[in-house]
Amino acid sequence: GCGPSRGPAMDLFGDLRRMNKRQLYYQVLNFAMIVSSALMIWKGLIVITGSESPIVVVLSGSMEPAFHRGDLLFLTNFHDDPIRAGEIVVFKVEGRDIPIVHRVIKIHEKENGNIKFLTKGDNNEVDDRGLYKEGQNWLEKKDVVGRARGFLPYVGMVTIIMNDYPKFKYALLAVMGAYVLLKRES
């Protein structure tokens, strides 16, 4: 017929109405299982690695060519391991939300065994003293979130795109939500 064409949104709601409650319930449950599994894996990684964020995404180019924006780093943070010069650490600075991934360039050990150290991005001209909080010249172990143990190149690009373009994040979530709801059980 030549009636008014229904938009894709109308079709979607028709589909959802036709899908019985049990299927919907099943899909919601399914989705909840996926989310809780992911959270459990994350918590498990925190316990195993000793790091509060076992996986981080490199957000800046300050460590090129060792790491590029979007590389996914796996961290561990065992307190017994001595920190060595040349190691790549992820540290947090007071007043900054995002941890920084840089290399340890100098270590200063005190008599009581406490270690202080200085970091620098491989690609930066100067060391990180300008990034530390005012009056802080060295980092201590308590500032370290973890130490890089391995990485996957560019996997974290999705995170960067989501940070740079918030609309993309909502589009992605919408697509995933629609996929979960409309995936028919074959």
Active-site annotation, residues? 62, 102, 128
Q: Which residues, other chains included, contact 72 with Cβ-Cβ below 8 Å and sequence gap of 6+? A: 55, 56, 57, 58, 151, 152, 155, 156
Q: Helix H segments across the chain? A: 8-18, 21-49, 157-164, 166-182
Distance CA(36)–CA(17), nearest Å, equals 27
Phi-psi region of 140 (alpha: psi -120 to 50; beta: other; left: phi over 0): beta
CA angle 125, 63, 163 (to 5 degrees): 115
Using alpha carbons, select from 185, 186, 179, 170 the residue that is nearest to residue 12.
179
Q: Is the dihedral of CA 125, 130, 135, 136 positive or negative?
A: negative
Half-sphere exposure of 133 (CA within 13 A, CB side): 10
Amino acid at residue number 54: P
